[in-house]
Chains A and B, each alone.
Chain A
Amino acid sequence: MEFLTGTNVNFIGKRKIAITGSLIVILIGIASLIIHGGPRYGIDFSGGTLLALHFSKPVPADQIRNALKDVQLEGESYDFSRAEIKRFGASTDVAVRVEEMGTGTKVGDAIKASLKAKFANYIPPKESDWVLKQEKVGPKIGRELKGKAVKAIFLALLIMLIYISIRFEFKFAVGALVALFHDVFITIGIFSLLNKEFSLAIIAALLTIVGYSLNDTIVVYDRIRENLRLMHRAGYGQAINSSINQTLSRTIITSLTTLLVIFTLYFLGGKVIRDFTFAMMIGVFVGTYSSIFIASPILVEWEARSAHRRR
């Protein structure tokens, strides 16, 4: 069986439309980031306490909120009713997130004690089944993790820039880099639009997207490098366009198989990795798109401008 072989779509000719489309999506993402006042950070980066609890019967969020109005912490009463309360997968599971306060894990433990007293009938018989997850990140750690994440992303991009410059040419590296920024920006933008949280796992997903998208781009570039030697008479744009067409079948099949796995993970892999796989899903789509419509057309634009200057 074969499909998409021997195609001759004029991808390069449509580069203006593609680039405009991408710019619009990126701008929407940036607008969303501005409206939301930056990315929505999870406790990994903003610090705070997160509790995921499993009740034996569904407990309405406002009842939990009420219970949080008066939490005893070291002999004093605190009002945590402004906490973020949301469902954690199943309807019986609840996640409570409060902002960073004080040191140690006392806030989480105090909230647990308070909820335990008020919802005794809702707590599973085996108490270890009650607490699904308890996380606390101090503000200092949060800042450090943020710094590390940013460092990791830039380090990854820098090393790739160097590697591609060595293996190919500098303009290829620039093209690949623009495509990567494109992918990362669109993914961040979509996350902001959907009001999803940024956690450490999402950063890992972003870096994987970077790796995957680059993988795709390099396969196309490799063919371009080869074709530029074989087809130097046909012209730059023509050589690049046929390269994209020749690798199209492979690009689509690889994306399909990868998406096949990511979709199964998304639907069957459980709530813990759902956001992670969601980011990967966007990334594979956008990464495939960008290696065809962004990374390669940039080479054409670059060549056209420098040819113009040479003249």
Chain B
Amino acid sequence: MRRGQGVKIGIIIAVLLLSIWYLYPTLRLAIMSTAAKGKMDPRELAKLEKRAVKLGLDLKGGMHLVLEVDKTKLSAKEAPGAVDRALEIIRNRVDQFGVSEPLIQRAGKDRMIIELPGLQDPERAKELIGRTALLEFKLVENGKEAKGLFDRMDKALSGGEKEKKGEETKLKEMFKESPAGSLEAETSTSEEEHPLSYLMEFMDQSYGQVIVAEEDIPRVDSLLSRPEVKALVPPDMELEWSSAFDNYREERVKKLYLLKRKPELTGAHLTDAKVTIGRGLDPEIANRPVVNMRLDRRGARIFSRVTGANIGRLLAIILDGKVYSAPRIKSKIPDGRAIITGIGRMTEAKDLAIVLKAGALPAPVNTIEERTVGPSLGEDSIHQGTNAAIIGMILVVLFMVFYYKGAGLIADLALVLNIIFIMAALAGLRAALTLPGIAGIILTIGMAVDANVLIFERIREELRSGKTVRVAIDAGYSRAFRTILDANLTTFFTALILYLVGTGPIKGFGITLMLGIISSMFTAIVVTRVIFDSLTTGREVARLSI
């Protein structure tokens, strides 16, 4: 036996055993039927799945989100910790939502990457992750205050309109002979003089709450957003819409509330939130989902004081700037319990409870990138991808045997080992196999073959020049080695850059390509050499099947 041959064989066997150990969970899972998986101890199964080769979102289906924390409204004191807090809160929410193996990490200064594999309802997840969930309790101003404000707004608006229409009105006045409509105009609200309150209706004059018909909402919104109107809202008050539509006299309406700007209490004092189905006679509550909240000791004390001091007033429960409900305070509430009503569906209530428990985000987040792959596309991709890879590999294997005969068979063995090593490395490194990753593996198949082609062509050349088999093999390997090294190293650099600079799937491509290059160098040079040497030492070989 040649020197070092034993060591080489030892290394190859060790690497192979290690690979099998890493691949064992993947293989077991692949062989197991769904029924068998169901029977297995779930903890055991989770352990296996954790050690198996992971599939990327593009193959498995799932959602990839990049969120940016909007720090523009934060003070200099709040800003630094905001992203970490948001990350923590979103992690809590996702944990309670129940997705297996979520990835939630910080990226750069203001960003977070969230990956949720195998997701069934992406829209719900987005809603759950992205909402700020700032819960506030604010007192509703009284009706007189609201009436006064809307009157002032009307005046500002109609004044502005009149200036524009000035000429026209003057003309009209000049030609008008009898003021027939003047009486009527004074008693009812006309659109011209009351452009805003014309669109609103007080249900009860004593509360600062009006209703607006669905079709008028955009108009009201645009009037309210005019700077001269906005400026009229006192600094300690604000206007907010109700979250959902109500039915009022067979019309779909929303409520507009005039609130105290300063919240009496926020969700920070919340300790628990649970969903139940409401009971009682109130149609707002009966048989509809209700979120029951519990406040901490301090929260309960504040709540007790606020409710005690404001009996008879409305207390609005506001989530992310939308009023969910504004019940009348009937009595002092001392036990720190409150409910949120006005929620449409049960799932919505459940999600609400989750976000309330997890806490409010310190600042709004914007989704700046989303990539969702539906489960069926993922299934298609993995099916077609693996099929293509296997067929491609079989074609290469056949070609090598056809062209290089016995030596081709040795190269094919190296090729199979190469694939095993790459998969094992992916499992060991916990790297995900993505679609570009499969492409990367296929490229390495090509390159692994290339190394052997280089060696075999050299050996053939040496044989042609009349050298013996033994010498030709030695010369072939040593001469081809430098070429293979140079060629592989340059490709390795490309892969490294892809890994370092790339994102998501391209990173995956870079990893598999790097692993593939290392592994193919090993199999194409070391493994095949050992086989050649074992076949040609100890006896005189006259002809080589190459």
Contact = CB atoms under 8 A, between A and B. Distances in A.
Contact of A250 (B372, B380, B453): B453
B421 interface: no
A140 B376 CA distance: 30
A277 interface: yes
B442 interface: yes
Given A222-B486, A260-B396, A133 B374 contact: yes
Interface string A261-295: 11011011110110011001000000000000000
B157 interface: no
B302 interface: no
The prevalent SS among residues of A at the interface is helix
B15 interface: no
B375 A108 contact: no
Contacts of B388: 264-265, 267-270
Identify the interface centre among A132, A249, A269: most chain B CB within 10 Å of its CB: A269
Contacts of A155: 497, 501
Interface in B447-471: 447, 449-450, 453-454, 457, 460-461
B100 to A, nearest CB: 16
A200 B58 contact: no
| Interface residue tally on B, bucketed by range | 35 or more
B366 A104 contact: yes
B376 A215 contact: no
A264 B369 contact: no
Nearest to A201: B436
Contacts of B396: 257, 260-261
A49 B268 CA distance: 36
Contacts of A273: 381, 385, 435-436, 438-439
Interface in A169-226: 200-201, 203-204, 207-208, 210-212, 214-216, 218-219, 222-223, 226
Contact of A261 (B58, B371, B392, B513): B392
A71 to B, nearest CB: 15
B436 A136 contact: no
A151 B493 contact: no
Interface stretch (B119-127, B175-183, B305-313): B119-127
A218 B486 contact: yes
Contacts of A5: 460
Contact of A222 (B445, B482, B502, B505): B482
Contact of B374 (A131, A250, A268): A131
Interface stretch (A14-22, A27-35, A159-167, A230-238): A159-167
Contact of A134 (B122, B489, B497, B501): B122
Contacts of B391: 264, 268
A53 B121 CA distance: 15
Contacts of B405: 1
Contacts of B369: 136-138, 141
Nearest to A108: B370
A301 interface: no
Contact of A268 (B58, B387, B402, B502): B387
Contacts of A204: 436, 498, 502, 505-506, 509
A129 B375 CA distance: 7
Nearest to A221: B486
Contacts of B120: 128
A277 B439 contact: yes
A62 interface: no
B218 interface: yes
Contacts of B438: 269, 273
Interface in A28-70: 52, 54
24 contacts: A54-B374, A103-B368, A104-B366, A104-B367, A108-B370, A133-B377, A134-B371, A137-B369, A141-B369, A152-B502, A163-B490, A164-B490, A204-B498, A204-B502, A211-B513, A215-B488, A219-B454, A222-B482, A257-B449, A262-B392, A262-B442, A273-B381, A273-B438, A276-B439
